[in-house]
Structure formats: structure tokens, C-alpha cells
Amino acid sequence: MNQDETYDAIVVGTGISGGWAAKELTENGLKTLILERGRMVEHIKDYPTMNDDPWDFPYKGELSSDDKKKYHVQSRVNWAPKDDNKHFFVNDLEHPYVETKRFDWIRGYQVGGRSLTWGRQSYRWSDIDFEANKKENIGVDWPVRYKDIAPWYDKVEEYIGVSGQNLGLKQLPDGKYQPAMKLNCVEEAFQKATSEKFDDGRLVTIGRAAHITDPDAKFEGRNTCQNRNRCSRGCPFGGYFSSNSSTLPAAERTENMTLRPNSIVYEVIYDDATKLATGVKVIDAETHEKLEFNAKVIFLCASAMASVGILLQSKSERFPNGLGNDSDALGRGIMHHHYKLGATAKVDGYLG
């Protein structure tokens, strides 16, 4: 075991939450080590297909039969991966998992994680959501309500840029939005038909998406979305929010960040004497060397599944069942990313 480096803070993972943790910790003066299990992906430089056109892909963007084998699990979810963005998804043959029933699991092992390929839909929870557990007597009541979280929604929306329409709805609170994108002509017709057919206040509105739409807005190193619809390849304009275009460069500017790709964290070190988590154990994905890094503060931002996996593997005299797992609930109720919630339709006409 190769000892060791000490930091003020360690962040595990560089996706949306890891990038934010990196930005906040470094901007507050903490020397912070950011560990990412996958390879380096640098904004713009490492987006190989960002400017390719449909005719640049031999299968019109679909996967070849060889690639269909490599991505046979993730391809069950229709939007991912395709020929133009497959380099941002794990190879299912190299990263298999056991399914007792179908479980669609999309993973991106690289700096930026799935912030490069996410759907960018960004909604505020309302008190209907925060109170649902209590009302339906499921699990434990949230210790916070909308008013506690609202200032943080403001902060995040203003920093990442979210476009959308404020409508004063109780189920979808208003936010600090960039101008809403326009509905297309079919969507406009659907909106009109919905308001005419229903008199119960039902409405159709554009999605709230993490894209910059205000041409006068100032975002460090990012520009207005050009509506090119090539987002999951990485965007050279920084039109949508990703860790790579936004929070990680912000952390880097502080000179307090040490970013270490190819670093697989497998355990949080817990000191039974001091009763504190003191560091993490890492395998270097390239050299297979085992390493330890120490810090006073450790943030696990390795996605719902991997963060739980790391905690379960972090066994000590005090926590023989995994770190913090006195209740034995750890790993038994994981809420992972949901995919493809919605509906699509083909509509004839509207050609002119």
C-alpha cells in the first residue's frame, strides 16, 4: 500500500454533484482532491464528434452490430448510446452486472460522468413532493420543506443556466430561469388543443432545461445554446450545463483542485479510535497500484449505486455492516436515475 497524501477535502466522482462539490469546496479555500474512476475528458478538446454531421457516421448515428454487443444493456434505453456519443458510456461486456429482474443502468466512466450525456431537464420540487412521504406514511419525513431549499435552487439555476417559463404553479415552483425555448408548431397546436379541450387548468409548457438561452447572459467560458441538438457529444459552446464546461473549470481556477482521473475508490477509511472517516482507499485503474489519500472532509458523489457500494465496502469494528449502516437500510432502497419518462408521437402535416 502506497502512502499517502493529505488534503483538506476529498470528492469522489466528477458528475453533476461531484463537480458542484469541487467548485464549492475549492472556492471556499479548501485544498481538494477530486477522484474520478474513469479517464480524463477535457472540455472541447475531448469531444471528438462534436462537429460531425449525419453523413460522417456510417450507420447514420446508429450502432454497428459489433457496438450493439458492447452496449447491449444500455441500448435497451433508446436514447443511449449511439454512434456519435458511445465513447461517453461504459462497455457493457467489460462492466457486466447481475439482474434478478431487468434493471437499466447507464454509466459514464469519465471526468464529467453523465453530466455530459444527461437529459438536462431541471425541475424544482414543491412542497407536494417534500410532504408526500409523510402524507402517505412511507419512509421518513423530509427534514426540510421547499422554503429551506428554494435559495439553493436559485443559486444553482443562476449558475448553471436553466431555461423555462414561470407559471406560478404550486406543483412546479417558479425559478430563476433563462428565457423559455419556443414550442415548435406541432407543440403549439397541442398546447392550444389541450387548453380548449380541458377546463381544469391543464396546460402544456416547454420543459425546463439546463441550457443558456439569454444572449446577454454572462457565463464564464460558456455561450448561448445554438439549438444544434448535438448535446450528448459534448458542446463546444458550453450551451448546456456539464461539470466539464462549468463547475470543474471553476474549481480549477481557484488553484485549490487536484484532479486525479483513473482512480477507483473502493473504501472510505474509518478510524475506530477517533470515530472519524479519515480518507479513502483507491486502485489506480491504469497501474493497479493501491493508494490511500487522507482528508478531514470526504464527499461521496459517485452516483447512487457506486456511493452505496463504497459505503458497504467500508467495514470497521464500529461499522461491520458498512459505514453508517447501523439500520441495515443501506443499499436496500436506492433511487437511481430514471430514463425515458414521457411520450412521443408522430403527427402528419405541418410541412409548410
Site for ligand SF4 in 16-75 (CB under 6 A): none
CB 260 within 8 A of CB 12: no
Q: 24 or 84, CB closer to ligand SF4?
A: 84
Of positions 240, 270, 293, 299, contacts ligand SF4 by CB under 6 A: 240
Q: Is 211 in the site for ligand SF4 (CB under 6 A)?
A: yes
* Count of residues of this chain found to bind ligand SF4 when the rule CB under 6 A is applied: 12
Q: 242 or 263, CB closer to ligand SF4?
A: 242
Q: Is 237 in the site for ligand SF4 (CB under 6 A)?
A: yes
Q: 194 or 227, CB closer to ligand SF4?
A: 227
Site for ligand SF4 in 248-307 (CB under 6 A): none
CB of 114 to ligand SF4, least distance (A): 15
Site for ligand SF4 in 216-235 (CB under 6 A): 225-231, 235
CB 30 within 8 A of CB 8: yes
Q: 239 or 279, CB closer to ligand SF4?
A: 239
The residue with cell 441538438 is 229
Q: 70 or 230, CB closer to ligand SF4?
A: 230
CA torsion 109-115-120-125 (nearest 10°) is 100
Q: 64 or 226, CB closer to ligand SF4?
A: 226
Q: Where are the beta strands (DSSP E) in 184-238?
A: none
Compute the distance between CA of residue 131 and CA of residue 143 in angstroms, rounded to an integer.
10
**Cis status, amide bond into 81, omega within 30 of 0:** yes
CB of 236 to ligand SF4, least distance (A): 7
CB of 31 to ligand SF4, least distance (A): 33
CB of 123 to ligand SF4, least distance (A): 18
Q: In sequence order, what are the beta bridge partners of 35?
A: 12, 260
Q: How far is CA 2 from each of CA 106, 191, 252, 283, rounded to the nearest angstrom?
A: 32, 61, 26, 10
CB of 234 to ligand SF4, least distance (A): 8
Compute the distance between CA of residue 293 and CA of residue 119 in angstroms, rounded to an integer.
34
CB of 201 to ligand SF4, least distance (A): 32
- Sign of the CA dihedral running 294, 308, 141, 150: positive
Q: 50 or 149, CB closer to ligand SF4?
A: 50
DSSP codes of every residue in 301-337: -SHHHHHHHHHHH---SS-TTSTT-TTS-TTSS----
Residue whose CB is nearest to ligand SF4 in the complex, by number: 239
Give the number of other Cβ atoms within 10 Å of residue 323's Cβ: 20
Question: What residue ranges bind ligand SF4 (CB under 6 A)?
Answer: 211, 225-231, 235, 237, 239-240
